Structure 1
Amino acid sequence: MQFRRSAALLVAAIAGSLALTGCGSDSKAGSQDAAGGGSGKRTVTDANGKKVEVPAAPKKVVTLSEPTLDAALALGVQPIGATSGRGQSGVAGYLAEKAKSAKIVANVAEPDLDKLSAMRPDLILLDETVGAKRVQDKLKGIAPTVLTAKLNAPWKEAFSATADALGKKADGEKLLAGFDKQVGEVKGALGGNAGAVTSVIRWQNGAPSVVGKGKGHVGDTLAALGLSRPKGQQGESIGHSEPVSLERLDSIDGDWLFFGALGDKAAGEKGLKEAGGVPNFNKLKAVTKHHVVVVDGSAWNSSGGPLAAQAVLDDIKSAMTKKS
């Protein structure tokens, strides 16, 4: 509930403009149509530096990655097709309520080209976090296709590129400005937790994996808040997650430990119970200080976007601005 309220506040600043720039005939699209000689088309540059002609006001958008789905929903666009979340049959859990009308036409490994084609989309969005990147030529045969970001691109850059492809660049800038303002407010309220060593892990198959390194929505948000990371969680990630040996549990310790699983918060609670039975886990400093925070792994472990980043910020605010 806290996340839904905060997400609503995040987009409230652009609600007026979104009402005018919906996926139908909006004022922005109208000006773009005029600039394009009434063609209803505009040109954007994708992550490969290629020019792509896209609809000025797309009405049937398919998002083939978690970041592009997250971005579209944050901007008030309802995709008709989407990818399933990691380890989930539907969209990433934290997006499920907002993406009820989206049909699953892909997973992170590959898209179902037949299902996708049958939907007759007018715009396809993806990035290099998913296997669909390998079949871009086939996707382009179905509808204009925009690769919004390279692998490990900063999440804000990826979001801005998606906003541009949707004809909502200005709205995206307003949304990011609102988020950055919230980050500043939370940072100022950390008190005794300012600069705290903050660990983020996913519990899977009886062991932890490090997530949220680099410039993704987790690492970027922690850095913006001035929070530090354990030594093993610094620098760029070599993959979406990095397994940690049970013999090296001390490497995931910190002043705070944000703990999730490949699923929702209930899955995280189940994982924490399992972790409690692992030798030495209960000796970790974060555990003894009662500074373990179970989170919605579908948001924290996703590839990221403004809604995922908002969930991360909300969890940090709730946990770390209450006690020092």
Structure 2
Amino acid sequence: MLRQGRFAAAVLGLLMMVTSCASGGGDAPASTPGPSVDTMFGQVTVPSRPQRVVALGWSDAETALALGVQPVGASDWQGFGGNGVGPWAAGLYTQPPAQLGTTQPDYEAIAALRPDLILNTRSSGDPAQNEILSKIAPTVGPPPGTVAYGTGWREQTRLVSQALGKPELGEQRVAELDGRLRDAARTHPELAGKTVAVAAYYGNKWGAYLPGDPRVEFMTDLGMKNKPEINALANGTFYTDIAHERLSTISADLTVVFPIGADARQLRDDPVLNQIPSARAGHLLVLDDHELTMAFSSGSTLGIGYAVEHAAPRFAAALRGS
């Protein structure tokens, strides 16, 4: 009870702080009520024409940019630096956004930007975080029934486009990328129906991605199936740890692995990884192109568009063993 009381007091203090920041220092943008959008926290009424958008969720900034809106502040989840987005989106900013936190948002800095809309559509779905953000500005969280960081690119594009008052453009972006994905699947028919495992090496640990993650969604869009044994490890998030001695779990018709904060040579030289069946059969792909890995992981229409062109051929070649 004491711990809960301290948490409640901390939240109350933050709410008082951000309310003070949001109400002071310059004129806030005019906000005419607009449509309501459905989130896991209920319906949220957003401004009809938001002028100062803060993009906090994974790839929310790239999604807004693809719809012609430049956030005034954004979170750089993938550590791009600069404007905080991939090279496929960096040129869409004319004014650099303020860089904000990721898992621990700087609420005071967010409030100081005087946003009239906050996008947090691919996020942890933390209720306490959403409560604080909603005191600053209308906050669009993940859609209902979504695991942590599990908002798909279609849902994210549609949710963000609705919040920005551009639902038709959002549907256009979805249709455009769907068409490119169908073309890639037709170009590489060998991918259809094959099992795939996507895994990363991070912090001296291995882990596999689960349904809801953009990398798994991308492979599914190309006609592949995430390995069922990995799906069975679903734990309410997008990722599950895999013990090094159990790396055979990620053996599938195609196994795709990449390092995060490590050298790809560590993976290529890993004796346990090299002994899993897919590696012995020549169907292991170690992604060593950092830009390509980032595009593959981005989960935005812009990043996925880059990955369709550059990653899909490599997946098909690895499946062929060439």
CA contact (8 A) 2:207 2:240 kept: yes
2:158 is the alignment partner of 1:160: yes
- The correspondence of residues 241-260 of structure 1 with structure 2, limited to 5 A, is 241-260=239-258
Can you list the C-alpha shifts for 1:2-42, whole angstroms capped at 9, x where unaligned? Answer: xxxxxxxxxxxxxxxxxxxxxxxxxxxxxxxxxxxx98431
| Equivalent in the alignment of 1:220 | 217
2:52 is the alignment partner of 1:60: yes
User: C-alpha distance in 2, partners of 1:118/1:76?
Assistant: 23
User: C-alpha distance in 1, partners of 2:207/2:85?
Assistant: 19
| Equivalent in the alignment of 2:11 | none
Distance 1:245 1:132, change over 3 A: closer
Distance 1:241 1:87, change over 3 A: farther
Cα offset, 1:186, TM superposition: 1.1
Aligned to 2:90, the other structure's residue is in SS state coil
Distance 1:236 1:120, change over 3 A: farther
Per the normalisation by structure 2, the TM-score is 0.74
2:201 is the alignment partner of 1:203: yes
| Equivalent in the alignment of 1:262 | 260
| Equivalent in the alignment of 1:102 | 97
Can you list the C-alpha shifts for 1:43-93, whole angstroms capped at 9, x where unaligned? Answer: 212314644333222221101111422321221211110113156777365
| Equivalent in the alignment of 2:133 | 139
Per the normalisation by structure 1, the TM-score is 0.73
Coordinate RMSD, CA, aligned: 3.1
2:39 is the alignment partner of 1:43: no
User: C-alpha distance in 1, partners of 2:208/2:192?
Assistant: 22
User: C-alpha distance in 2, partners of 1:131/1:105?
Assistant: 18
* The 10-residue stretch of structure 1 (158-167 or 130-139) with the greater mean CA deviation from structure 2: 130-139
Cα offset, 1:154, TM superposition: 3.8
The unaligned stretches of length 5 or more in structure 1 are 1-37
AA in 1 matched with 2:90: E
The unaligned stretches of length 5 or more in structure 2 are 1-29
User: C-alpha distance in 2, partners of 1:183/1:102?
Assistant: 31
| Equivalent in the alignment of 1:112 | 106
| Equivalent in the alignment of 2:304 | 309
| Equivalent in the alignment of 2:8 | none
User: C-alpha distance in 2, partners of 1:230/1:53?
Assistant: 40
User: C-alpha distance in 2, partners of 1:220/1:250?
Assistant: 22
| Equivalent in the alignment of 1:282 | 274
Can you list the C-alpha shifts for 1:243-267, whole angstroms capped at 9, x where unaligned? Answer: 111111222123333222336xxx5
Can you list the C-alpha shifts for 1:278-305, whole angstroms capped at 9, x where unaligned? Answer: 3232233444426414054444445x33
Distance 1:92 1:259, change over 3 A: farther
Aligned partner of 1:121 among 115, 118, 122:
115
User: C-alpha distance in 2, partners of 1:78/1:216?
Assistant: 25
* The 10-residue stretch of structure 1 (231-240 or 120-129) with the greater mean CA deviation from structure 2: 231-240
Can you list the C-alpha shifts for 1:197-233, whole angstroms capped at 9, x where unaligned? Answer: 322111113332102x213332223223221333433
User: C-alpha distance in 1, partners of 2:311/2:293?
Assistant: 14
Aligned partner of 1:273 among 261, 265, 273:
265
2:285 is the alignment partner of 1:292: yes
| Equivalent in the alignment of 1:171 | 169
Aligned to 2:271, the other structure's residue is in SS state coil
User: C-alpha distance in 2, partners of 1:290/1:308?
Assistant: 25
Aligned to 1:201, the other structure's residue is in SS state strand
AA in 2 matched with 1:78: Q
AA in 2 matched with 1:228: K
2:226 is the alignment partner of 1:234: no
User: C-alpha distance in 1, partners of 2:123/2:81?
Assistant: 18
* The 10-residue stretch of structure 1 (63-72 or 177-186) with the greater mean CA deviation from structure 2: 63-72
Distance 1:235 1:175, change over 3 A: farther
Aligned to 1:260, the other structure's residue is in SS state strand
Can you list the C-alpha shifts for 1:137-180, whole angstroms capped at 9, x where unaligned? Answer: 33233223222424334442232111100111100101111111
Cα offset, 1:311, TM superposition: 4.2
User: C-alpha distance in 1, partners of 2:293/2:48?
Assistant: 35
Cα offset, 1:242, TM superposition: 1.2
